[in-house]
Amino acid sequence: MDVLIVGAGSMGTWFGDAVDARVSFADLDRDAATAAANAVGGDVAALEAETTYDVVCLAVPMTHVTDAIADQAERAERAIVDVSGVMEPAIAAMARHAPDLERVSLHPLFAPERAPGSIAVVRDRSGPVTDELLAGLEARGNALLETTAAEHDEAMESVQSAAHAAVLSFALAAESVPSGFETPIYRGLRRLAEQVTGGTPRVYADIQATFDGADAVADAAAEIAAADADELESLYREAAAGWQEHRAEGREDDTGGDTE
């Protein structure tokens, strides 16, 4: 099986290393494509060419995935997949531009350096090629989380957009404190702030542009800031009840890191 990976960033490089196939990388930055190919033992391909492959994988930023699918779908002979992180637009674009091909959207729920981990999977039109790819990912120790595009994108409003907004808000609002004053909660938030601010700013900007969630965090913070003591106790109890329900439904999971 030969696979063209469009996008030679960290996620494209991860995919090229994780699949058992002959891989080629195409990217606007040819040096990046060369680095990715060298890292996984693949080849470099032209971004605009008529050469076709069994599989085309779009590993581009989520804000560009629909355009990339439109541009590259004709180069896929049997299957088209993406690892962009947004599923509803990607699935719709693949169905529109590759209606006769196998189509799968993947979202690794971890940073590539923390692989293996959980991978959200939407099999829009499965078949032997994509089944083989997914089996290979599973054999590498990844856990496949079967979902729908709508369920995934709705979850990302909390998992990514709201979570990132909350951590970045803390990072912007908090001031350094003298040694010895840290509490366990402060230290935990500080570690999260260091992790988030050590990532790639454009990735976080793309997530906020794609998924709702930040407004809800802002509204909650404003409500807390304006609350008197009794109202704050009520908000506290509301939050506690919500997370007790969360735990009772068994929705807690540790995927080993964020996707940045």
62-87 pLDDT, tens digit per residue, is 999 999 999 999 999 999 999 999 99
| Chain CA centroid to CA 234, Å | 35
Which of 14-38 are b and which e, b meaning 16 or more Cβ less than 10 Å from the residue's Cβ?
bbbbbbebebbbbbeeeebbbebbe
The pTM assigned to this predicted structure is: 0.90
Q: For residue 46, name the pLDDT band (cuts at 50, 70, 90).
A: very high
Same domain, 85 and 130: yes
Q: How many domains does the chain have?
A: 2
**115, 147, 179 - which closes a domain:** 147
**Confidence bin at 254 (pLDDT 50/70/90):** very low
Same domain, 96 and 128: yes
Are both 6 and 29 inside the same structural domain? yes
On the question of pLDDT at 176 being above 90, the answer is no
Give the pair of three-digit tokens for residue 189: 């938030």
Task: Let me know whether 129 and 188 are in one domain.
Answer: no
Do 47 and 79 belong together in one domain?
yes
Query: Are residues 79 and 26 located together in one domain of the fold?
Result: yes
